[in-house]
A and B are shown apart, each in its own frame.
Chain A
Amino acid sequence: MTRALRLLRRRVVGSVFVLLIVVIGSFLLLEAAPGDAVDAYIVSTGGDAGMIELLRHRWGLDQSELTRLANYLWALLHLDLGHSVTFSRPIREIIFERLPTTLILMGSATALSFGLGSALGIYAGARPGSVRDRFLSIGSLALYAVPGFWLGLVLIVIFAVDLRWLPIGGIETIAAGKTGVARVADIAIHLVLPVSALGFIYLALYLRMMRAGMAEAWRQDFILAARARGLPRRRIVFAHVARNALLPLVTMLGLQSAQMLGGSVVIESVFAVPGLGRLAQEAVAGRDTPLLLGIILVSAVLVVVINLLVDLAYAVLDPRVGAGEASA
């Protein structure tokens, strides 16, 4: 366990530097945006040149760039992401209100694409080169080529408009007054289509990786040995081939988290799911740059945390990871 902890400590130090670069980058983007916080404020409230001058001074916007960067960093250290003009509320509040919805959506979609993807990958990789392998490879590639937002629209047309099985969008029935289990069931029904749209796009990735890993494992000596020992084929497929191919997929989970977050922006706006992605689109529509950059910062932190967790899981699963780093 100390091995995993040592690895974690090293990763955390690296992550702090990475996040610092993200913060500086987003500060530069904020600077590049036309107008500043005072302009945005004046547009919504009105005021004369004297008031603009006063506000610029009070908010520290008349200072040098370096001072402003320092102020920005200092505010971020206190988890202060600034104030959203479009919502006239602190950005942190809005983001933390929307974050759980996106996490549920992402988590379910990841579970779907990882679970179904690796299962189909095992099915295809059990007999590399067979008809079913070829069929699944092409099929998954076609799915990977589908734009997520378009898949969402097609699902809406089929399941919400024609068949009327599922709701067309939103996260729950408005003003239904449901509580407890009924509310959870309501939210789950609303999430079926968005989770499918997001999950099916990335399914191909896990399927293909699993399949490629298994095709590789079949060529290894230990598989030959297992076959020579006369183990049943089913046992070889699951206990030896698939098990070896599964580990790299865990790394992929972390790497894919940033992609999933990006993908959820369009999926959330197709299905009107009030999450972080939809918020990003609202920020763009309202020209609310500080809010947009707040979302980017929170997403970056989220991706870093997910990757740390994945690294940790990996270190627990694979005893080789980090073993040689004691002296490094």
Chain B
Amino acid sequence: MSTVTVEASHLTRIYGGREAVSDVSFNLNKGEVLGFLGPNGAGKSTTMKMITGNLAPSAGSIKICGIDMIENPKEAKALIGYLPETPPLYRELTVDEYLAVAARLHGVKGAQVKKSIERAKERCGLTEMSKRLIENLSKGYQQRVGIAQAIIHNPMVVILDEPTVGLDPIQIRDIRALIKELGGEHSVILSTHILPEVEMVCDHVQIIHLGKLVFSGGIDVLKQQRRGNRLLVGLNNPPAAEALLAIEGVAAVEQVSPGLLRVRYNEGQSPAEALVHAAVSNGWGLHQINHDQTSLEDVFVQLTYQEAAEQAS
């Protein structure tokens, strides 16, 4: 019994001669949450459409729990719950009616339909909206209905394309908690622009740029990338740069703003303690010392840029 739920190998999709996605391969295990990152038009949605069988790949194959999506689409699709970019909602139906349609279409048997609707509504916080027309719900609630629709048949793999778009901060928190919870028993693939979200909910991250996978690995690797060897030091009476460079381990000093310096140090030689000592004894007026973390955005830009630079050379 293998635990691999999604197996994509060498996925390629050509749109009018241009490769929208080229040679993307990855595996996803049961219970993992995979984050899909990438700038607009990078091929995230195209990849997701291919995994869910909405789009036929030009080359490559997709296996869901060992079932080939191209050869046995029905069996494979039964294992997937999918929320596309725009939630596919029938606005003229009520939440209950819509979810009943979704459950039946996904092969939930008659007696189970009611139960699965209740469960999905509860998980997505929709219990009070049962009898409301989807048309009259706010964008955030519509998004929730979209998620409820994707998990109604308790699929092995849940694929969410930008699930937190248009939600308010509290709803975003709820949805993230829900995604984490789903990750326990299902596999989740989610795409997003919001980088901290990835850090919060995902176990694995893939960054896709211009249709190519530029980064694939655990979230820890990405976190490590953020830690540069830099300190942010706030001094009220900053001394000359030479005085700072004299401290052991300090490699470079640059001024960020008056009274705020960025100190680079050599790998493994954090000068934090020495700096504090020096500041106290020389009366530099230390008021802040901190790790200067690269924002996730910067790492993202770095990774996507790197690839572009490599291609150019």
Tell me whether A and B are bound partners. no
Interface residues of A (CB under 8 A from B): none
